[in-house]
């Protein structure tokens, strides 16, 4: 079964050995977002061999800031019935931020697998620290097990395509995307160097 078949039939063979297949479904929806002018970030929730949530980020379409791909995919999954949350996996093409990590925990998703690391807002490492100091007797949200990178090159290629298509834009989304692929843009303005120009400008 090819990744294309899976994305159309919405059936995925679960398990760590098949994370590349789940991630391909997330990359597919990220590509769809890219063609619509969005950042190339996609996410799917896979449970019991089915995709129960799927979304790309919609900041541009909705002109809102909380509409991350992972959060939208989790919301769709949360409205669906009959899936085993603890055995479900959230696949996302970018390391999840603090909001989406928290949403996955609240949705009781067991695992998160990400493709491309985000030094900017990635919060994956917090998942290993969350339970420290909390008693096993205390009923508290368990953060998902977080794994990455998977299919890192494919996710980076999408970000590079997004940045290259926009050139030297001053758009903060574009500038942020450039940092994700390790190619931060030049500062938009630099303060005057008093050593080279001692004359006050005003
Ligand atoms: Zn997020």
pLDDT per residue over 108-129, tens digit each?
999 999 999 999 899 998 887 8
Residue appearing with tokens 């995307």:
177
Predicted confidence at residue 125, as pLDDT, reads: 87
Q: In the predicted model, is pLDDT for residue 200 greater than 50?
A: no
Please report, for residues 30, 39, 189, the alpha-carbon distance to residue 174 in angstroms, rounded to integers and kept in the order given: 16, 8, 16
Predicted confidence at residue 169, as pLDDT, reads: 77
Predicted confidence at residue 13, as pLDDT, reads: 46
- DSSP category for residue 190: -
pLDDT, one tens digit per residue, over 6-28 is 333 344 444 555 899 999 999 99
Helix, strand, or coil here: 164? helix
- DSSP category for residue 46: E
pLDDT exceeding 90 applies to what percent of the chain? 65
Please report, for residues 72, 75, 83, 121, the alpha-carbon distance to residue 79 in angstroms, rounded to integers and kept in the order given: 11, 6, 10, 27
Catalytic residue among 70, 129, 183, 186: 70
C-alpha–C-alpha distance, residues 25 and 113, integer Å? 12
Active-site residue flag, 70: yes
Largest Cα span, the chain: 71
Predicted confidence at residue 11, as pLDDT, reads: 45
Summarize the confidence of residues 162-187 as an average pLDDT.
Answer: 87
Summarize the confidence of residues 57-74 as an average pLDDT.
Answer: 97
Strands 42-47, 50-56: parallel, antiparallel or unpaired by DSSP?
antiparallel
Using the mean position of ligand 1's atoms as its centre, give its distance from the Cα of residue 8 in Å.
Answer: 25
Predicted confidence at residue 167, as pLDDT, reads: 82
pTM, rounded to two decimals: 0.84
Using the mean position of ligand 1's atoms as its centre, give its distance from the Cα of residue 122 in Å.
Answer: 8
Using the mean position of ligand 1's atoms as its centre, give its distance from the Cα of residue 201 in Å.
Answer: 42
Predicted confidence at residue 201, as pLDDT, reads: 40
Any residues with CB less than 8 A from the CB of 32 and at least 6 apart, and which? 42, 56
Using the mean position of ligand 1's atoms as its centre, give its distance from the Cα of residue 191 in Å.
Answer: 33
Using the mean position of ligand 1's atoms as its centre, give its distance from the Cα of residue 41 in Å.
Answer: 10
pLDDT, one tens digit per residue, over 31-56 is 999 999 999 999 999 998 899 999 99
Using the mean position of ligand 1's atoms as its centre, give its distance from the Cα of residue 50 in Å.
Answer: 22
Predicted confidence at residue 202, as pLDDT, reads: 37
């Amino acid at each position: 079964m090819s990744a294309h078949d899976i994305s159309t039939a919405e059936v995925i063979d679960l398990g760590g050995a098949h994370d590349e297949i789940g991630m391909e479904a997330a990359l597919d929806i990220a590509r769809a977002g890219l063609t619509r002018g969005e950042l190339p970030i996609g996410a799917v929730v896979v449970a019991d061999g089915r995709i129960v949530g799927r979304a790309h980020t919609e900041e541009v379409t909705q002109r809102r800031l909380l509409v991350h791909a992972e959060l939208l995919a989790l919301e769709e999954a949360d409205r669906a019935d009959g899936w085993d949350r603890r055995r479900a996996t959230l696949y996302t093409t970018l390391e999840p931020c603090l909001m989406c990590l928290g949403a996955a925990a609240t949705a009781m998703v067991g695992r998160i697998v990400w493709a491309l690391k985000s030094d900017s807002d990635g919060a994956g490492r917090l998942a290993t620290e969350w339970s420290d100091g909390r008693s096993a007797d205390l009923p508290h949200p368990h953060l998902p097990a977080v794994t990455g990178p998977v299919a890192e090159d494919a996710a980076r290629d999408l970000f590079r395509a997004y940045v290259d298509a926009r050139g030297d834009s001053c758009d903060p989304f574009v500038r942020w995307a450039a940092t994700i692929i390790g190619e931060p843009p030049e500062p938009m303005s630099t303060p005057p160097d008093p050593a080279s120009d001692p004359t006050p400008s005003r």
